[in-house]
A and B are shown apart, each in its own frame.
Chain A
């Protein structure tokens, strides 16, 4: 079976000349279907960039990206729109919801946009999983940050996309609410076979994943399968020393 998403020798360069920033330097990645993949790395290492490229939100400078069996690179706007409707779901760090819609309307928005009816049983399951039963009629302004992120999760899940991309979904939450969200994501992978790619800074968050990818300076530098929080922390430390020693080398030169 093919990967849920794939990056082949992906380069991403922003700007040109003096202001040129190389955000990704030849990234190769296969996101396994039905797995929970976390992407970690220091700030500015290219995590968000990689995720955006994988999701077709951003174009790559070189290389190729595919979601399922759809080649993302080179898709027209209409093609990208179809991709977003049918194959990917998003959870952003914040501002996930339309303030004019109720929680329920926000959840069903992707389906409504593509003119699909929610599968009643699946919808109920999702609502139950994220535990929003009594809040469905509320507007985002009447929900707490944690509740808003749960709505965002439900929205991503309800259309059963090929992959859900989440960029620091717990970044703005306290640890309790964050743990709740991570719990849902974990369950949706384990129980429903959903594929999820999540960017995070938090070793604890990464420990919910099946696999952690480490990015540094636009390159995949390491990865761990079935991580624990301690293992992730250790890895980060060792990567930091590596970076520091690289710095020393540069200084020595």
Chain B
């Protein structure tokens, strides 16, 4: 869970600051600079809790002082595309052993999504990231025509049960589920989530940071609900609204649950 907290903190809020170069000549309170750092890469071949934990503990026991809050990049390039990875769990394990995952590289769409939910951005694959192209020096402004595909609607409607081990994501829209969402299943949307049946798994709305996203369900029995990174886990949910029809929304940083 602390990964989610981290995710929340990582939503950088820019406030007034003093003492930067830029502050001297403009309103700006910071300046972005490119730089190169050498990082440790954790190359993942497959992921399940037990074998990852075993490998980590044996790696770390051979060099106990090596990892001390060491940032690492998780490379998924050699990991099977259909290997579901719970990055929240993985992140917790890593931090137990002194490693702090900061980004993922490679990986399938589903894996990247799951990484995204855990607050881990993705880097381009190794071959591309080694050399970044220099911008053409003598053109001040490059005008390019970009074709953007605008879908008529990005909403997704699911009519069959979402089962344990399954993950469904509605990028760029709402997710509507007309059947139960099982414990062990995960549903995500950039927009709102509606479940017209019991919600027993994990539901994450506004995963790209939309604070106005909401979650609606017919019966609250969830393992976790989250809006834009602000979450509540099962034990926080088991109050008077347990098994009731509810809506969940953000008020500031507070996730508020109320009867429908």
Partners in one complex: no
Q: Which residues of A contact B (CB under 8 A)?
A: none
